[in-house]
Chain A
Amino acid sequence: MSNCLTTIQDYGLRSVGIGERILPKTDITICEQVVLIGSGLIWNIYFGTIAVFVGFWFSVMLAIGKNNKFAVFRNPSNVFIFLFRGSPLFIQFFFAYELFVLLPKIGVTLDLGFVSLSMQSHWLTKAWLGGLIVLFCNTAAYSAEIFYGAIRAVPSTELEAAEAYGITGWNKFRRIIWPSMLRLAWPSYTNEAIFLFHATTLIFFTGFPAWRQSGDALYYANYFSDKTFNPFLPYPIVAAYFIFITLIIIFIFGVANRHLNRHLNVEQRAQIRLSLNLLR
């Protein structure tokens, strides 16, 4: 048991570069697998949380753009959504990485002397920024489609009532469309958040390198599976961690959902919960 405590001290924060540098190679214990894979989970939570929070606002903007009557706003939204929803995330990561690798070579000829700029384009090839940007764009596109559908589904009676009271423009959006849109979109959006967290496992299997073997949960699981030739331990550990994360997401989004639907009676709430679908 005390052995396991030292393992937690050594590898608990290994994925962010704190603790023992060298990964276990021989005589790998269950404790080491659980701790190190759990440590990798920090990356999954980092990618997932930031992409959801930042992606949310961008996706709402895209959805509003897609719903706009002017083609100038509509077309860019449509193109963005089509590009990121129509192609595999896996290829997007590869493409973005190769693109970011080429950037400094182009950037240096354009902006000589700007140290900060060359630094930034160098960061783009790291998973923490480059991978995050791709993930952010991807979830923004998927969520935008969800929110667009929800805007279209806002009951016309609510809009007519608002107009009858003289509520127009920004006020109409903020007080009528926005709350209804969120309420209607929330079950699907919960789903999107779950699958986004699952998608974070892809990053370290694409071009983005795991610097000093600091990877995510699946990266370490794959490492152990390669080292021990026994896939029956590390992969179920990752699976258990992700089931746990999924339950937490469902809980948090469930609290938000209850808040959004607090004005409805119990029967209407039950109907919304049932419509939770499973696919992205």
Chain B
Amino acid sequence: MFNACINPSSIEGFVWLICYLTTAKHFAFYFSFLVVLLLLIFAAPLSLLFGFIATAGVRSSVFLIRIIAKGYINMVRGIPDVVFFLFVPLALDQLFEFIRHKIICFDVTEPIWRGTDFVVCKAAKLPLSTADLWVHQMYSFILALIAFAIVFGAFAGNVLSGAMNAVPKAQTDTATAFGFSKKQTFWRILVPQMWVYAIPGLSNLWMILIKATPLLFLLGVEDVVYWARELGGSKTSLYAYPHPDWRVYYFAGLLVFYLLMTWFSGKVLNKLQLKLSHGQSTMAGRELQGYPG
């Protein structure tokens, strides 16, 4: 990057470090932090949406929908999230390729699962083997995103349905007395009022989501953990910047990054909680108005 870095073996000390930290691979490492933020930005609203649909499903009058929604939001209680992170991307990938295979290569009669192999025709591969590298990376990122949305959607479903139950019964009773239909009660009474009860749970969920982002590594995305292992491993003199095993420093850096993220989020969420408590008929709201307790 800098002119002084053209011949790394001749420089040392601080300049060496500057040159070392500005190699192309290190920029890929810095970019992977953006990938983490990107995942957070997309996964949070998506899981909120999944959670909201599940919450509505729990209150559905159709038995089958109710059972599925309840099963969905309770599954994260019994099954480790890591299982989903390993299973969902692989299962989705096979599902997509299976469907494409059936549509595009309908004339191929051989089975797709052959003993220890999963074979679809070349045209059905996702992404196509001729596609660019970034398409492959994008594809695995999107699969990972869906896995995150499914797991955290179930968590969010728990929080939201708890919050909906926390809305005072008198509110829904009054709505019924005024002749509101079930749908109207849901959209005009429950949904606007549940958020203040949901905020503590959702804050907690945001923190958990932040702390789950390094699991991207398990899904084959070149994320912060991947680059920390790649760059930190000991480099022999064959490399431009030889160094011993520095992985521990890279992981220490990641620890600091995540500590800062959660610390900062905690500050912001506390502020938000305080703001939302204004004008609420809760203990926190009363204290803000100067009432004791």
Do A and B truly interact?
Answer: yes
Contact B113 A230 (CB under 8 A): yes
**A279 and B247 alpha carbons, distance in the complex (Å):** 31
Contact A225 B80 (CB under 8 A): no
Measured CB to CB, the closest approach of chain B to A145, in angstroms, equals 11
A83 is contacted by which of B77, B245, B259 (Cβ under 8 Å)? B259
**A101 and B79 alpha carbons, distance in the complex (Å):** 32
Q: How large is the interface on B (under 10, 10 to 19, 20 to 34, 35 or more residues)?
A: 35 or more
Which stretch (A3-11, A150-158, A236-244) binds chain B?
A236-244
**A198 and B83 alpha carbons, distance in the complex (Å):** 9
Contact with B along A45-80 (1 / 0, CB 8 A): 000000000000000000000000000000000000
Residues of B within 8 A of A227 (CB): 116
B251 is contacted by which of A28, A91, A221 (Cβ under 8 Å)? A91
Contact A86 B118 (CB under 8 A): no
A98 is contacted by which of B94, B158, B211, B248 (Cβ under 8 Å)? B248
Residues of A within 8 A of B15 (CB): none
Residues of A within 8 A of B55 (CB): none
Contact A89 B211 (CB under 8 A): yes
**Majority SS at the chain B contact face:** helix
Measured CB to CB, the closest approach of chain A to B108, in angstroms, equals 17
**A198 and B155 alpha carbons, distance in the complex (Å):** 15
Measured CB to CB, the closest approach of chain A to B156, in angstroms, equals 10
Measured CB to CB, the closest approach of chain B to A259, in angstroms, equals 23
Measured CB to CB, the closest approach of chain B to A280, in angstroms, equals 6
Known contacts A205-B218, A279-B205, A279-B208: A91-B258 contact under CB 8 Å: yes
User: What are 16 A-B contacts with C-beta separation under 8 Å?
Assistant: A26-B116, A87-B258, A88-B210, A90-B214, A90-B217, A90-B225, A92-B255, A95-B252, A98-B251, A197-B80, A202-B82, A222-B86, A239-B83, A246-B78, A279-B159, A279-B205
Residues of B within 8 A of A (CB): 75-83, 86-87, 90-91, 94, 113, 115-118, 155, 158-159, 162, 201, 204-205, 208, 210-215, 217-218, 225, 228-229, 232, 245, 247-248, 251-252, 254-255, 258-259, 262-263
> Would you list the 7 A-B pairs with minimal beta carbon distance, nearest first?
A198-B80, A243-B78, A98-B248, A95-B251, A229-B118, A235-B87, A88-B211
Known: A91-B254, A221-B86. 6 other contacts (CB 8 A): A88-B210, A94-B228, A222-B86, A242-B78, A243-B78, A279-B155
